[in-house]
Structure 1
Amino acid sequence: MSAVATSRAWPFVGRAEPLAVADAALDADRGVLLVGPAGVGKTRTAGELLARRAAARDTVRRALATSATVDVPLGALGPLLPPWGDRKGEPNLVQWAARALVARAEAGARLVLGIDDGHLLDPLSAAVVGQLALTRSATVVVTARSGAPLPDALATLRRERLLERVELDALTRPEVEELVAASLGGQLDGAAAYRLWHLTRGNALYVRELVSAACRHGTLRPLDGVWVWSGDAPTHGLDDVLDDRLGALPPEDRDALELLAFCEPAGTDLLASLVDPAVLDRLDRSGLVVSEQFGRRIDLRLAHPLYAELLRGRASPLRVRALNRRLADAQEAIGTRRARDRLRLLLWRLGAAQSVDPAELCEIAERVLPGDPATAGRLADAAVEAGGGFDAGFLSARVLLAAGRADEAEALLATLEADTPDRGVRLATTRAQNLFYALGAPEKAAGVLRELDAGGLDTDRQLTVLRAAVLSYERRYVETWELLAPLLVDVDGGDPTTLWACVVGVTALRGCGRFDTLAALATRGLALAAALADRAPEWQRMHLAMGEVSGHAFAGRFAEGVRLCEQRYEEALDAGLTGAKIVLGGFGGLVLFLCGQVRTSAHRLRDATAGVRIGAAPLVPVLRAGLAQSTALAGDVTAAEAVLAELGDPDPEYAPWIHMARAWTAAARGELARAVRDMTAAADAAEERDERPLTFLMLHGLVRLGVSDDALVERLTRQVDGVEGEYARAALAHARALAAGDGPALDEVVEVFATGGGLLLAAEVAAHAAAAHRRAGRVAAERAAAARARTLAARCEGARTPALDLLDAPDDLTPREREVARLAARGLTSRAIAEGLTLSVRTVDNTLSSVYAKLHVAGRRELATIDLGA
């Protein structure tokens, strides 16, 4: 598949606004000047404009100006002109060339002349272009590089407002993602899109070359239908492109750029003893280096991230060692006044193969681990090699945790032996948290904490949090919260123990269904994590962020949950947190499902789980189940069934989610009875585990499928008792109104869900309301509710559910009749229908007879011609 990226023509994406401005100018018979830096996509945008003009029957001609033709008279336009001998004595070359170009246009068609790299036009060609534009004999589309002076003729056209200047900026990150996904023919992993955009800064040329190189080298490859990035950025395919900027530099300039590649951003104090100030000034003025001022300090960096990638990639091992040694010696000479200086000095010493104190390596690695696990891992490995003992081994295990390699981390943690009570506490609590949150083994987690020697705890508060953690691992959520609540009165001014209490408290509140309280506590916990001097571990921040999102979403503030998830996801990517893809990206997909954005939900869930094996983390089976249900409701039942087959028989831990996914997949197939059975199994599995929030979610799923009996209402009433937020209240109101056939009450529920952003839920309730109004003979109310349902459903990315099918199905069929009729219309025999719905064949035949009579059809063949809903 990697050949796709190198051979397929790259699509044209984005640029809607500049194209609209350019089209308007061309429609007004004015020219267009497309300006932007090298590689931004000027030529491609000009090509799109010219293709549109050709489609409108204009005569399009294109010319290319180059440095080789800049001193050749008519060098750029020569290929478009007849031989000079055809001038027939015409002494004015400009007029002859202009007339010749116009004469070569098709009869009655407007001539549109495209000039690439117009800043390199030779004077005579520029004069011809100016003549054509001034006399309105042709319309011109010119590209030019930012900052390059234009020939006088083009500058005159700009002053006369005969050329509309259109600035082309770099592509945005969504545009980069769209471009690459279209070229590869498949979805691009969110983290890969982030890295591509960061490396290329949206430069279209760099994007294309980097993606092509990454595909060739296997750095970018498809996993589970998603293109995922792994490893370093290959620069081999970019050599020719970047050498235009870096290839012809004098040795002293090249040396300075290499140093910057290994130390950026670098202060002038560091570079003063290594680089001649005149060299830095020259590089700054040439645009290869940029400088930024922070108070009295000036930092320098390379003008583009790919310059550093190329220079580092080309340096030999011996050269790398020499550069690191020079940088380390220079830093040692000026001292390490800032924390950043100490880190860089250590890394340069390691790069120069010099000995470093393992205790210092561990100290600095601890500091950088939350925000830069890759660098922390390098320091930890060096500390282990240098004989760093327990601290180095423990640090290596935490690096594995930060990289999402929870099973490897547990294997390492289990081998470590703590020689002090304090180290014993840190080892046991880290193991327990990994076992519970990452490996889904609450019993083992609780066992590790029970065996802990509490003598290493400094305060009674730590002991209380430890006891609460054991209770939460045992799912005794009410007791957990009762123990923790007194410690969380003042979170804002807390310490690491308070933060640990927040994390455990989030788990307890979610288990209790205290969603409003959960959202508030998680937000305060995140603020505390950011304020602490020592940054909180990644898993704590991820858990708090997921708690914040789930608190809002399951309280009925679905849109706010999505907004927060997107915000926290971006923040996590910026911080280099590897767990963001699964935790925040994936959980956001689950919330998007409730909002009704089923295709976006499937996209996000596919991204979150690509290349991650089932069982790698407890959230993965949940996310794969979510992918199945989103895919099914988006219309691809076959793909949903493939995901469910991969999940296999549900583990009790994930049974509610997998049964629910099976239910929505069955519903998408039109098998309502099976859907109800699976959703009931989901609710039963959640209730068995005393997961009340999950139970109410599955019970409301039954309501959404159309189940409307008093027993379900009573059961749902028990489950939502004490659950905070509008979602639980609205779900119960939905169940009661559906059972009572109360259309006006259902109308009220519609607005509750719609206000919170649960558009699919709102659309389904509106469809139920329309049916209730119809049965009551309220024609106007029925039409209003149906219109509301269709309006809401139109914003749900094509989602189809049994409730929405009510809008299109014949009015007078019962749900059972509709289900049997849909299966018969698909060609199933009465026996097959009976086996699928657990009915007798006679019951199926009797039901079909009733359907035929109501719809006035003679049999199955005519039944297949009627719209019975999806």
Structure 2
Amino acid sequence: MGELARDWPLTGRTEELQFIDRAARSGGGTRGVLLSGAAGVGKTRLARETVAAGARRGAVTRWATGTASARALPLGAFAAWTEPGGGDASRTLNRTLDALLHGAGPAGALVAVDDAHLLDDLSALLVHQLVLRQAAAVVITVRAEHPAPDAVTALWKDGHLERLEVQPLSEPQTAAALEAVLRGPVDSTTAGRLWKLTRGNALILRHVVESELKAGNLRRVRGTWRWSGTPSVSPVLADLVATRMGELSGRLRDVVDLLALGEPFDIALLAQLADPAAIEEAEARGLVTVEQAGDTLWAGLAHPLYGEARRAALGTLRARRLRGRMATALAGHPEHHGDNTLRRAVLAVDSDLPPDPVLFTEAAAHAALLMDMALVERLARGAVAAGAGFEAQLLVTTALAATTRHDDVKDELAVLSAMAVTDAELVRATLVRVPALAYVTSGPAEAEAVLEEAESRVEQDGFRLQLTALRAYLEATQGRLARAVECATTALAAPELPGEPVILASVGLVAALAVTGRADDMAPAAARGHEAAVRSSQLGFLRAPLIMAETTGLILAGYLREAEDLAAGFREEVRDQEFGNELSGFIMGDAELGRGRVADATRRLREALVGLREHGNAGGFVYFCLLSLTRALALAGDLPGARSSLAELEAERSPSFAVLDPELALVRAWVTAVEGALSDAITLAHEGADGAARRGQYAHEVLALQTAVCLGDASVAARLAELAGRVDGPRVRAAAAHAAALSTGDGEGLRAVSVRWEETGDLLSAADAAAQSASTHLRRGERAPAHAAAARAHRLAQACQGVRTPALLEAARPVPLTRREREIAVLVARGLTNQQIADRLVVSVRTVEGHLYRIGNKLGLTNRRELAALLLDG
């Protein structure tokens, strides 16, 4: 840990360093810089790096530090260069100046003074003289909130020194610093949480990282650093925070402790619980901030770590008593009912007050609307323990289902079912139970059985329609799409359908429309589902599957920019919700992959997968994420990574998500293509297309056939032309044109298709089409258009962040081989034996040997190593 502290990087501080270096080197005018900022923002670190840079270029460097103890002595900060004994102050000053500058050569001298606000008057005068005489370059740090001696202040006020206000690290700078010091990627949720906790203060960030590493909360998971749990306030961090807070009297401690347990808090109510004069003192000392919202003044702690430190120091009994007092005060103010109810319950559930099952149940429902499922479970369990009934148990089960707690949810589902007495309760329980069984615990068979039982028991039409809406959801995910559309349409036609079944029917309908090629019809159902979800305490968490279904439909149709905008909006909306970054990160990564930004998508999908894995199968989202990640790794040419991810994907496959079988076939096709077996890859793409066609998933069929075209299959033009008349969106039309140009060997047509793909935003397909154009022109000996198309393919591949598809590799490494010869050559380059190649291509070993003989003659190669160097990239 000591090494980590010493090596804490200056990542993201390049502009400040360049500014300081320029100021320290400039001649004639200013010869240095004054760095001002709050404690811990990095002033000293910047100054030390500047001194180190000066030493590297040959300057004599000096470092002095102002301290409270040395301030009592004349020239105390420069005692190391001051001769012992008394004497005239002016003479002592000049001798100290000479000692500081002794040995300076052509590169001059650089003097740094840290914490110059603590200098005694004579030391401040010495610094003033250094600058005015331009005897040395000077770098000074001062703490913004402390007054500095007049001689120091005058240096920047009179223009002799540049002044730089050193700001806390921004969120991107914090993320970059974390990745540099931890030597690996840090997920965005972790970086964001650490930035908010530390407010970008570099010193505090360093101590928090050290503390969380030691506690095991900050750890590497699947190659990505991730922070889970609550901050552990180490003794070192506690001392640092205590020093910043200063001595707390009993009155001040009451104010801080109350806010640590329940900030923000209404000032008027806080004044009933603590001394008003102490509240004013806390604000004056920078411990508390006060902000106005409407007619109310709200008090909060000035730094998040103040609350963490005080909560860690509070005893259990004192904390319970203070929470009880705050909850009682809130109970007397029923205004802003919803928010007040939730705040009261959060305080009361861990207080010395008697438990209130009605309050806890009502508050848990409010928490569900905010998608804080951990709080929903905590409050609802408190309600159940206090004697609440079905409603509270429904909320417990909802929270567990939403967070995919596999081991817990099944038991709670059984309890919920036993508590359901009326038809209304049976239906509400079934709306939660069936999705939990299908996607979290048991699979579709048990879920179907439970749904069928409920359908047999319920007779009232209104309740049966709710179960019909649930069936639409189940049918859609299992690929029975006509039935899904029928059930969803029937349910949604009922004007009095409650919100929860509206959500289920909307997700089922949107998912079915997305894959059947009716993306232009999705918007009304999606809008109705979103509207219902934001008001639902039971199934609001299904907004994520709804967004996923909608973005999938847009991507399949070729509305790629719209898909990315939708995903980005959802990510911004849920970034602070539990599970939100992981779910939205996957959806965003999928949209980025659709645009061809392979590196961005890979990183985001990997990060999402790490978080999703903490929730078991994450209700199927692990499977969804692996589908996209495996394809991204294959497109990037990462064969080991793609193979490993594919194995994990196959293990996650569930009959609950049969609708995604065509996508699984395409993932297999891309991994096979990277291995070099293009014939097998094209066969797999056709299998995906055929399976999609049998189920009526025409949008998936288009994508599968387009994939075959990008892999070099020239046989699907007629089918794509037929699909262009029944599938919505620009993808099918561009894919049909692409297939037609490839089937006729039209190099110029392929270039035009590349332009068309780029206009839709699909840079990956545009790159493949341009690469195929280059290869087609080259086979015909048309060198000029071949070079132009290859240059276009190269530009697009760069925009795709290093994508390495077979078409691009062929264009980048043109060789005079037939398609079969190239396929065999790549398999050889991948390390396969002649027998393995023969088995894979279903030919004889003798046939493989004959091809290798001709390949060697054409290319003038004598061994497999030379072939690998020629054909493989890296």
Calculate the TM-score normalised by the size of structure 1.
0.90
Alignment partner, residue 423 of structure 1: 425
Q: Which runs of 5+ in 2 are unaligned?
A: none
> In structure 2, what is the Cα distance between the partners aligned to 1:54 and 1:816?
63
The residue number in structure 1 matching 2:666 is 660
Deviation string for 1:314-338 (max 9, x for gaps)?
1111111221232233334555653
Root mean square deviation, CA, Å? 3.3
In structure 2, the residue matched to 1:557 is 559
Deviation at 1:437, TM superposition (A): 5.2
> Which amino acid is the alignment partner of residue 769 of structure 1?
S
- Aligned partner letter, 1:102: L
Q: SS state of the match for residue 155, structure 1?
A: helix
1:161-203 superposed Cα distances (whole Å, 9 cap, x missing partner): 2322222322222332232233223332333223222222222
Q: Classify the secondary structure of the residue corresponding to 1:414.
A: helix
Summarize the alignment of residues 112-261 of structure 1 with structure 2, pairs less than 5 Å apart: 112-236=110-234, 237-261=236-260
Among 813, 829, 835, the residue aligned to 1:831: 835
Which residue number in structure 2 is paired with residue 72 of structure 1?
Answer: 73
Q: Distance in 1 between matches of 2:617 and 2:225?
A: 21
Report the equivalent of 1:792.
Answer: 796
Query: How many Å apart are 1:811 and its aligned residue?
Result: 4.2
**Equivalent-residue separation in structure 1 for 2:551 and 2:488 (angstroms):** 21
Instruction: Return the offset for 1:264.
Output: 0.7
AA aligned to 1:60 is: T
CA distance in 2, matches of 1:196, 1:176: 8
Cα distance change, pair 732–524 in 1 and its aligned pair in 2 (3 A): farther
Q: Which residue of 1 aligns with 2:47?
A: 46
Residue 825 (structure 2) pairs with residue 815 (structure 1): no
Alignment partner of 1:591: what SS? helix
Separation of aligned partners in 2, 1:695 and 1:5: 55
Task: Look up the SS of the partner of 1:61 in the other structure.
Answer: strand
Q: CA deviation at 1:312?
A: 0.9
Query: Would the alpha carbon gap of residues 566 and 363 (structure 1) be closer, same or farther in structure 2, given more than 3 Å must change?
Result: same
- Return 438-447 or 768-777, whichever deviates more: 438-447
Deviation of 1:868 after TM superposition, in Å, equals: 5.7
Could you tell me which residue of structure 2 aligns to residue 367 of structure 1? 366
1 CA distance for matches of 2:237 and 2:229?
Answer: 17
The 3-state SS of whatever aligns with 2:34 is strand
1:624 corresponds to = 626
Q: Which amino acid aligns with 1:58?
A: A
Deviation for aligned residue 1:436: 4.5
CA 1:560/1:210 → structure 2, altered by over 3 Å: closer, same or farther?
Answer: farther
Query: How far apart are residue 834 of structure 1 and its match?
Result: 2.9
Equivalents in 1 of 2:560, 2:668: separation in Å?
Answer: 23
Q: Which moved more, 1:321-330 or 1:606-615?
A: 606-615
SS at match of 1:617: helix
- Of residues 230-239 and 648-657 in structure 1, the stretch that sits farther from structure 2 once superposed is 648-657
Q: Report the counterpart of residue 325 of structure 2 in structure 1.
A: 326
Contact 1:699–1:716 (Cα < 8 Å) also in 2: yes
Alpha-carbon spacing, 1:284–1:27, altered in 2? closer, same or farther (3 Å): same
Question: Structure 1 pair 460/425, CA: closer, same or farther in 2 (3 Å)?
Answer: closer
- Pairwise CA distance, 1:438: 4.8
Q: What residue in structure 2 maps to residue 263 of structure 1?
A: 262
Q: Distance in 1 between matches of 2:330 and 2:862?
A: 91
The one-letter code matched in structure 2 to 1:403 is T
Which amino acid is the alignment partner of residue 362 of structure 1? T
Partner of 1:306: 305
Change (3 A) 1:92 1:564: farther
Provide TM-score, normalisation by structure 2: 0.90
Number of residue-to-residue matches in the alignment: 859
**Counterpart of 1:300 in 2: which secondary structure?**
strand
The answer to whether 1:502 aligns with 2:506 is yes
State the alpha-carbon separation in 2 of the partners of residues 357 and 828 from structure 1.
70
Alignment of structure 1 residues 519-534 onto 2, 5 Å: 521-522=525-526, 525-526=529-530, 529-530=533-534, 532=535
> What CA deviation, in whole Å up to 9, does each residue of 1:616-665 have, x standing for no partner?
53231332243333234434322332333344566564654444334333
Separation in 2, partners of 1:90, 1:119 = 21
> Which of residues 800, 805, 812 in structure 2 aligns to 1:801?
805
Instruction: Return the letter of the residue paired with 2:381.
Output: D
Letter of the aligned partner of 1:835 in structure 2? Answer: D
Per the TM alignment, residue 398 of structure 1 is displaced from its structure 2 partner at its CA by 0.8
- Distance (Å, rounded) in 2 between the aligned partners of 1:605 and 1:336: 44
> Equivalents in 2 of 1:62, 1:36: separation in Å?
19
Aligned twin of 1:643 = 645
Give the structure 2 partner of residue 398 of structure 1. Answer: 398
> Which amino acid is the alignment partner of residue 346 of structure 1?
A
- Distance, in Å, in 1 between the alignment partners of 2:329 and 2:307 is 20
SS of corresponding position for 1:798: coil
CA distance in 2, matches of 1:130, 1:347: 57
Offset, 1:489: 9.6
Identity of aligned residues (%): 37
Amino acid at match of 2:174: V
Deviation readout 1:581-628 (Å, 9 max, x if unpaired): 443212322333333332322222222222447745323133224333
Give the Cα separation in 2 of the matches to 1:322 and 1:442.
49
Name the structure 2 match of 1:547: 549
Q: Tell me if the contact between 1:598 and 1:796 (Cα under 8 Å) persists in the aligned partners.
A: yes
State the shift of 1:239 in Å: 0.6
Q: Match of 1:568? A: 570
Deviation string 1:509-566 (CA, Å, 9 cap, x unpaired) is 2232222433565356435644x4x567442221222234323333323344334323
Shift of 1:828: 5.0
Cα distance in 1, alignment partners of residues 3 and 128 from structure 2: 40
